[in-house]
Structure 1
Amino acid sequence: MYSIYPRARERIYHYVGFVLALHIGAHATHTFTHLTIPVTLPTPLTVFTIFVVFIAPVGGFLLLLRGDSLFGGIIFVASMAISLALGGTFHFVLQNPDHVSSVPNGVLGFTFEMTAVAVALIDLVGSILGGLVIWAQTSNLPVSLRQSGRISGLPSSGFRPLTRFTYWFSKRIFGEVPEPVTIMAHNNQILWGTSAFEMALDRAGHVDERLKELTVLKAAKVIGCDFCVDIGTSEAQDLGIPHEQLAELHRFEESDAFNELERLVLRYAVAVSTTPTDVPDGMYDELSTNFDEAEMVELTAAIAFENYRARFNHAFEIKSQGFSEGGLCPRMEEPPTVQE
């Protein structure tokens, strides 16, 4: 028996159950259209097909409901994969009366063709989903679960295939799973919502990546997020931001390492990160002469999102994780406040 998180188990069961319902419905409809197709299968093959298409996936799902995630997942993915192979062979490969090109025209013929495609797609999704179930139970994903702050990260073990995929993907990018990811994993909606927004920011592409990274790193330093400065420095180095700029970021106004546009966006990062936010009209007007509306939205969203991440990490007292190997800009800054 495997250690399974109840809420995650219930959610993955919903996915499997939904795919199973689509699988049975599509195959039942396709079987009905076969009444008009003169295809005669040997009795053993007919029995085998009925078992694979209808009995085995239901049995695998019932095993999942009983808590046998590994064996149930194996049966489920095997039945889906074999069903996909059989359907693909008879409907799209072998030239026989069952081939989609041999089906007579008409309503039933059209239904036959559409359900043949539908069952192939559904069985493919079912095979992938079943594979995730098996992978979640058998893969060995070592994750260093640090507890530098107030809450421990969610272990990679257990019945959360999508979370385990996030851990695996993060580990490939950063070398280890960032601690905030393991903490957000306690709430899948927050984890995936945050990840989706971060990917959207990365792919927005209106603002120069290095300029955007400088503003994000400046916001992290202003708020005083150890983790954000650590990982942000590492990402800045990967983008080729000069070492001098990283070292002089705390005194960008006086440093010759920055040009006027860089100083302007860094002032904006400080202004947006001020409590309460204080962006003077003059500053915004100057920004508007250098950036169009789409660029302003992206730049502001990047700074605001870093405020979210930094304050999230601050609240949980998440410390640096060594991504920048001692980084070039460890100096934190006093968070500015506006006096009322």
Structure 2
Amino acid sequence: MTKRIALSQQVPEIYQAMSKLQQAVEKAAANAGIDQKLLELVKMRASQINGCAFCLDMHSNDAIQHGESPRRLFVLDGWRETELFTEQERAALALTEAMTKVSQLQDVPDDVYAEATRVFTEEQYRAVAWEVIAINSWNRMQVTSHAPLPKRDA
């Protein structure tokens, strides 16, 4: 793999701004009553679509630390085919896919939007949508940089 210029912490002001955005998104989600596990599923699904190994590694680890089951993570790419995910999680995953693929879809389909706004309050919807925006930004930074995976025991 071609070694790339790292974008992450080489321009600390921008990296810190991204980190502050992530902190603000997570605070807004917590204030809106969104479970951290749901946010980790959003991060995982967007990272799967974007092919970001660095983010998949990080967020699978984070999800498990927040009590997520490995089984649900293993089948996340096929979430529509299983009953393992709640109504809110399913709406968040559909919204994540639509927002992540917006260049292909040219919009968030009305049915995806309607379901998300049915199962989430406005405050919750905003928090989930901002999480999708944030993780897509992180994915683009890490994929473009070919960010190496951190060393782990397993």
Q: TM-score, normalised by structure 2?
A: 0.87
CA distance in 2 between partners of 1:298 and 1:246 (Å): 22
SS of the equivalent of 1:253 reads helix
Q: Give the C-alpha shift of residue 233 in structure 1.
A: 0.5
Alignment correspondent of 1:187 = 11
Alignment correspondent of 2:20 = 196
Match among 32, 36, 44 for residue 209 of structure 1: 36
Match among 55, 66, 75 for residue 228 of structure 1: 55
Q: Give the C-alpha shift of residue 187 in structure 1.
A: 1.2
Q: Give the C-alpha shift of residue 320 in structure 1.
A: 2.5
Would you say the 8 A contact 2:91–2:119 is kept in 1? Answer: no
CA distance in 2 between partners of 1:272 and 1:293 (Å): 17
Q: Give the C-alpha shift of residue 271 in structure 1.
A: 0.7
RMSD: 2.1
Q: Give the C-alpha shift of residue 202 in structure 1.
A: 2.3
Alignment correspondent of 1:280 = 109
Q: Give the C-alpha shift of residue 275 in structure 1.
A: 4.2
CA distance in 1 between partners of 2:152 and 2:54 (Å): 9
- 2:137 aligned with 1:313: no
Counterparts of residues 42-53 of structure 1 (less than 5 Å) = none
Would you say the 8 A contact 2:8–2:141 is kept in 1? Answer: no
Q: Give the C-alpha shift of residue 319 in structure 1.
A: 3.2
CA distance in 2 between partners of 1:275 and 1:209 (Å): 24
CA distance in 1 between partners of 2:94 and 2:47 (Å): 13
Identify which of structures 1 and 2 has the higher relative contact order when contacts are C-alpha pairs closer than 8 Å and 6+ apart: 2
Would you say the 8 A contact 1:252–1:258 is kept in 2? Answer: yes
CA distance in 1 between partners of 2:97 and 2:66 (Å): 22
The C-alpha deviation readout for 1:40-70, integer Å capped at 9, x for no partner, is xxxxxxxxxxxxxxxxxxxxxxxxxxxxxxx
Letter in 2 for 1:150: R
Rg larger for: 1
Q: 1:149 to 1:278 in 2, by over 3 A?
A: farther
Alignment correspondent of 2:4 = 150
Letter in 1 for 2:94: R
The C-alpha deviation readout for 1:136-162, integer Å capped at 9, x for no partner, is xxxxxxxxxxxx84125xxxxxxxxxx
CA distance in 2 between partners of 1:184 and 1:242 (Å): 29
Runs of 4+, deviation exceeding 4 Å: none
SS of the equivalent of 2:55 reads helix
Structure 2 gaps, min length 5: none
How much identity, in percent, do the aligned residues show?
Answer: 25
The C-alpha deviation readout for 1:165-199, integer Å capped at 9, x for no partner, is xxxxxxxxxxxxxxxxxx43321210211121111
Would you say the 8 A contact 1:185–1:191 is kept in 2? Answer: yes
Alignment correspondent of 1:111 = none
